[in-house]
Amino acid sequence: MNIVWIIIAALIVARIAWRMYAKSHRAQARPARSGKPLSPWQKKFYTIWVFFVINMRRLFRDRLALFFTFLFPLIFLFVFGALSGNHSGPTISAALINQSKTQFAKQFVARTEKSKTIKVDKTIKTISQAETKTNQGQLDATIVLPPDFGALKNGRPSGQAIIRYTGSNEQAASTLQAILNGQFQGINAKLASSKTPFTTKLQQVNQHSLTSFDYTFTGLLGFAILGAGIFGPMNVFPELKKQGILRRLHTTPLRVWQFFVANMLGNAVSGLLSIAAMFIVAVLVFNLHVVGDYLELAVFLAFGIIMILGIGLALGGWAKNERQVAPLGNIIVFPMMFLTGVFFPRFLMPQWLQHVTYFMPLTPIIDGARMIATQGEHLINLGPQLGLIAAWMVIIYAIAFRVFRWE
């Protein structure tokens, strides 16, 4: 929970810093009244800068926007991070009942309690207690060491551990048996050495591979991008139309492309800040290991945010009110959320569905981010992903410009 307070404190500090920055630069934000006048192109880009500052101010003044931009993705990160974990193998919850008095049994119990793959419930002392918790689903199985476990036979300790389980936990019991057999193999090799005719050898073929949390985290980046790129404009634009703000802006020299570029920059910056907060929490809490270059990842994600933002601009720019945009937004967002690898791996889908979902707008963003973060790929190696993002950007912004209306 300490990291949550750290993130909240960081947001408060960022908000105060932004207010101080805006106050100190308010005078500088106005064009100079004396000196050389601005050229037409300078005026156009100055207008973009002004609306970019306005959008950032609106974000840091809106507590609800701060929550959905920064804290809401972190909530999903904690939930899915806790579910996926960052383990290198299976974890079995078990009770360990030692009925033996031998020294070997005591050593075996101490070794098992320190195991990373077997989580021993030390509060359980009897088989009856273990069966009650197993029936309630709180335990996977029970390891029972009989009274003769570890007793000397022919000058060597021996024995047989009993694994008690229910019919619904057969798979967990088989896994537990494989784990214990691996431990006993090492012990047996020390007690009774013999040459083995057939052996195996481990050979590492890749320095980096995906853990379950690495895969989950890169999917959650896609969820944060959806929030930054679609939900923001989809909710803000109809409200601005309702208040008549866009109608008044339409009477000014402001052009649609200037308004879009200002929103693109603002959402890209806020989206990258949100993703940076997710990375900090993932590294500190869930031991995320990023293989690739952070700068290349930031550039790629910013490119992806700008592309997805076009969908939000199109929806918000077309809709007259919230009731009109909500159903269409859900039709677009939910398929991308569940078919592009945000929450569920695409390799679990049928082959034909994988081919279809590959061309969805969010898929190349998640795939590219995963390749940079977990495999160390560079931007020059992401040609297919960047090509798809560029193609979608042209299509989406062409539609956004076409359907946008000021009121």
Q: Is 29 exposed, middle or buried (0-12, 13-18, 19+ CB in 10 A)?
A: exposed
Pairing between strand 141-145 and 92-98?
A: parallel
What is the percentage of the chain residues whose pLDDT exceeds 70?
78
The pLDDT of 162-189, averaged and rounded, is: 76
For position 175, what pLDDT does the model report? 79
Tokens 């790629």 sit on residue: 300
Q: Calculate the average pLDDT of the chain.
A: 76
Structure tokens at 207: 């320095």
| CA atoms 178, 179, 184, 187: torsion sign | positive
Q: Evaluate whether 263 touches 232 at the Cβ level (below 8 Å).
A: no
Cα–Cα distances in angstroms (integers) from residue 242 to residues 318, 339, 360, 401, in the given order: 13, 34, 32, 20
Q: What is the pLDDT of residues 24-74, one digit of tens each?
A: 555 444 544 545 666 666 767 777 777 778 777 777 776 766 776 777 777
Q: pLDDT band for position 202 (50/70/90)? A: very low
pLDDT over 70 at 377, yes or no: yes
Residue linked to tokens 């800040």: 273
Per-residue pLDDT, averaged over 331-359, amounts to: 82
Highest mean pLDDT among 110-119, 192-201, 229-238: 110-119
Collapsed DSSP state (helix, strand, coil) of residue 309:
helix
Q: What is the pTM of this model?
A: 0.62
CA–CA separation, 102 and 82 (whole Å): 39
Is the pLDDT at 141 greater than 80? The verdict is yes
Residue of 195 and 169 predicted with greater confidence? 169
For residue 97, give the DSSP letter. Answer: E
Q: CA of 274: how far to CAs of 227, 258, 318, 330, in Å? A: 10, 24, 27, 22
Is the alpha carbon torsion for 264, 269, 275, 279 positive or negative? Answer: positive
With H, G, I as helix, E, B as strand and everything else as coil, classify residue 269: helix
Which one of 131-140, 203-212, 231-240 scores highest in mean pLDDT?
131-140
305, 228 Cβ separation under 8 angstroms:
yes
- Separation in Å, CA 324 to CA 271, 297, 310, 333, 340: 25, 35, 18, 15, 25
pLDDT at position 389 is 92
Q: What is the pLDDT of residue 200?
A: 43
The answer to whether the CB of 238 falls within 8 A of the CB of 246 is no
Distance CA 107, CA 110 (A): 5
Q: Go through the chain and tell me how many residues it has.
A: 407
pLDDT range class, residue 390, cuts 50, 70, 90: very high
Fold of 92-184: abc type-2 transporter like fold (3.40.1710)
Lowest mean pLDDT among 60-64, 99-103, 159-163: 60-64
> Residues 380, 385, 387, CA angle at the centre, nearest 5°?
85
DSSP letters of 315-380? HHHH-SSHHHHHHHHHHHHHHHHHHSSSSS-GGGS-HHHHHHHTTSTTHHHHHHHHHHHHH---GG
Question: Taking residues 132-138, what's their average pLDDT?
Answer: 75
Give the pLDDT mean for 77-92. 65
- Per-residue pLDDT, averaged over 264-278, amounts to 80
Confidence band of 2 (pLDDT split at 50, 70, 90) = very low
Name the helix (H) or strand (E) containing 95: strand 92-98
Q: Domain segments of the chain: what residues? A: 43-84+211-403, 92-184
pLDDT for the residue numbered 227: 77
> Does the structure show a pLDDT above 90 at 388?
yes
Confidence of residue 242 (pLDDT cuts 50, 70, 90): confident
**How many Cβ atoms sit within 10 Å of the Cβ of residue 177?**
15
Task: Say which range, 196-205, 285-294, 371-380, has the weakest mean pLDDT.
Answer: 196-205
